[in-house]
Structure 1
Amino acid sequence: MNPDFEFELTDRQIADFHADGFVVVDRIVDPELARRALDRFEPLFAGEFETGLYPDEWNWKPGRDDPTLTRQICNGWKSDRDIARIVLREDIGRACATLGGWPGTRISQDNVLWKPTGGRPLGFHQDAAYDRWAVPTEWVSCWVALDETTARGGTLELVRGSHRWRLWDMIKEFHGPKDPDAELRVAAELETAVIEKVPVVVPPGGGVFHSGRTWHGSGVNHAEVPRRAVVAHCTTSEAQFSTDEVGYIYSRYKKFGTSEMDESYFPITWRRDGYRSPLLAEYLSEAVGWAGIA
């Protein structure tokens, strides 16, 4: 693993993001770091959590759930530090702040995604529809491939220019829908827009940055290998909890009497003044764990 590798957006990539609602990048993290995270997938989905802490969402368990569904864990960074070493990176935080026009970035949520061979679609949606428990409802997401992706392998697909469309609600069928484009077609018709899907085809460690309003989803994995990825869903460092909307999972971290987000659960990964949540250095170096000891 190259500890000195640091990602930085070019002016052209920033312009492409604002024009299209996303920008595909061939290398966001070092491939060795991607491989280390990949090695953690089997233990994670088997319930072996390196830090001893359950993730906030564990949507697929062996022997319980349909094997053709995409497997998902949310906030795996709390359960495994090899996942955390990607989603909490300072350079990813800086890139998201640059694209979002923010003074800094905090991690709102992560996804650990595993689409098996033959895995069914994920419905096309906007991430911002799932972030109404926070203010502003505004994400920039960084999706990092851990396997080489192909168009026929159920890779992530994004709809060019759809970040300019109105904000939709949560879709009715997210995991394994028969028609993953159902609500996308309705949204495009309301916008009198043409649907132009762009598949993300990158090597391990590459990926895409996209707006929380950009419509995206994925099709069936017709390849002979799985498609695995991690996603950092980032928001502005100034984000707070909504006082009007309750998220049934993430609003549990809101303290009574304040809308402030606690950095223990939503750490700041980069800020323009050089600040980064102090806990991150100790946590990522394994100097301390969730119990406060090594």
Structure 2
Amino acid sequence: MIVEEGLVPQDALPLLRERFLRLFEGEYETGIKPDEVNWMPGRDPEDRTRQICNGWKADPVVAAQVLSERTGRLTAQLAGYRGVRLLQDNLLWKPSGAKAIGFHQDASYADYLVPPEMITCWISLDDLPADAGPIEYVRGSHRWPRTPPERSQFHAPEDWLAPARHARPEDADFEVVPVAVKAGGGSFHHGLTWHGSPPNENAAVARMALVSHMLPVEARFHETNVDLVYSRYRRRGDLSLDESFFPVMWDESGYRTPWLAELPDLVALSH
């Protein structure tokens, strides 16, 4: 786990927060609905952490940050990859009083990919104190074995640490580390790192986060394993990841998926 400040230009934060909220209100500038909308007003309990997956497809401003070339370059350099592509994004909104997200390993959900691994960049859009439900990591857990995905205790579990405690090897320590950062800061973590977040007990912080899950650039679909949602983007007879849906954010050769150049400049938009 690496903590980094200044991942988002400060002037762009108000615009990103505005677009973030518009997505949760069902306003999709591109006319395309995100792949997963796990919370909607009036449909779901108010005390749940709200989640959208692949908001970038619905809003070009969100896409500009999620698909940032700098984020891709930092990720590739940290992981030792020659390049990275986006698997998916998450928009996570945890208002005051919202409940926890259960601890999990991102890579547990990646068995439909080869290799089944990823690096995640998590960015806070708010100044985030430790009592506002920040992302938390189990130190050293990137060295623990992969476990089957835990879906039943993901949203609003009473004991959000339980899955990680159950997975802890007998000889491993169990130290939970919160990421308290300024707005625009965040963290990078390995796909096997156990993480989650406690309830938001801070009355003044809305706790909005943008997440990019990134794959090594050469990743492909698994020949037989499938995902309920994302295997819909696999072409028949072709295991490659289509750059229309899994764009290359950065490559050491200088390549970047060409259509990304059409995304807005966040700094210019903010002035």
Query: What TM-score do you get using the length of structure 1 for normalisation?
Result: 0.87
* Shift >4 Å, 4+ stretches: none
Partner of 2:269: none
Q: CA deviation at 1:99?
A: 1.6
Partner of 2:194: 215
The 3-state SS of whatever aligns with 2:241 is coil
How high is the sequence identity, in percent, across the aligned residues? 48
Which blocks of at least 5 consecutive residues in structure 1 are unaligned? 1-21, 286-294
The answer to whether the 8 A contact 2:61-2:263 is kept is: no
Q: CA deviation at 1:283?
A: 4.0
2:164 aligned to which of 166, 184, 190: 184
Q: CA deviation at 1:121?
A: 0.5
Partner of 2:206: 226
Partner of 1:113: 92
Distance, in Å, in 1 between the alignment partners of 2:120 and 2:12 is 19
Q: CA deviation at 1:109?
A: 0.5
Distance, in Å, in 2 between the alignment partners of 1:135 and 1:35 is 37
Query: What TM-score do you get using the length of structure 2 for normalisation?
Result: 0.95
Q: How many aligned residue pairs are there?
A: 264
Distance, in Å, in 1 between the alignment partners of 2:232 and 2:83 is 24
Question: Does 2:234 correspond to 1:254?
Answer: yes
Distance, in Å, in 2 between the alignment partners of 1:43 and 1:191 is 46
Distance, in Å, in 1 between the alignment partners of 2:245 and 2:97 is 35
1:102 aligned to which of 74, 81, 85: 81
Distance, in Å, in 1 between the alignment partners of 2:39 and 2:155 is 11
Distance, in Å, in 2 between the alignment partners of 1:192 and 1:80 is 46
Aligned residue type for 2:48: L
Aligned residue type for 1:103: R
Distance, in Å, in 1 between the alignment partners of 2:102 and 2:93 is 15
Aligned residue type for 2:36: E
Partner of 1:85: 64
Q: CA deviation at 1:57?
A: 0.5
Partner of 1:3: none
Distance, in Å, in 2 between the alignment partners of 1:241 and 1:35 is 37
Q: CA deviation at 1:178?
A: 1.0
The answer to whether the 8 A contact 1:99-1:140 is kept is: no
The 3-state SS of whatever aligns with 1:40 is helix
Q: CA deviation at 1:263?
A: 0.1
Q: CA deviation at 1:244?
A: 2.3
Aligned residue type for 1:155: P
The answer to whether the 8 A contact 2:103-2:161 is kept is: yes
1:276 aligned to which of 236, 252, 256: 256
The 3-state SS of whatever aligns with 1:143 is strand
1:62 aligned to which of 34, 41, 47: 41
Q: CA deviation at 1:191?
A: 4.2
Aligned ranges for residues 1-20 of structure 1 at < 5 Å? none
The answer to whether the 8 A contact 2:20-2:62 is kept is: no
The answer to whether the 8 A contact 1:142-1:209 is kept is: yes
Instruction: Give CA-to-partner distance per residue, 1:210-256, whole Å, 9 cap, x none.
Output: 11110000001000121101000001110000112100100000000
Instruction: Give CA-to-partner distance per residue, 1:80-137, whole Å, 9 cap, x none.
Output: 1111111101110011111221110100010001001011000000000112111111
Partner of 2:15: 36
Question: Does 2:157 correspond to 1:174?
Answer: no
**Larger relative contact order (C-alpha < 8 A, sep ≥ 6)?**
2
Aligned residue type for 2:70: D
Distance, in Å, in 2 between the alignment partners of 1:181 and 1:69 is 17
Instruction: Give CA-to-partner distance per residue, 1:180-213, whole Å, 9 cap, x none.
Output: 111111111x342121111111111000011111
Question: Does 2:189 correspond to 1:245?
Answer: no
The answer to whether the 8 A contact 1:69-1:176 is kept is: yes
1:206 aligned to which of 171, 174, 185: 185
The answer to whether the 8 A contact 1:75-1:111 is kept is: yes
Q: CA deviation at 1:33?
A: 2.0
Distance, in Å, in 1 between the alignment partners of 2:46 and 2:171 is 37
Distance, in Å, in 2 between the alignment partners of 1:32 and 1:144 is 15
RMSD: 1.3
Partner of 2:141: 162
- Greater alpha carbon shift after TM alignment, 113-122 vs 39-48: 39-48
- Greater alpha carbon shift after TM alignment, 22-31 vs 207-216: 22-31
The answer to whether the 8 A contact 1:69-1:175 is kept is: yes
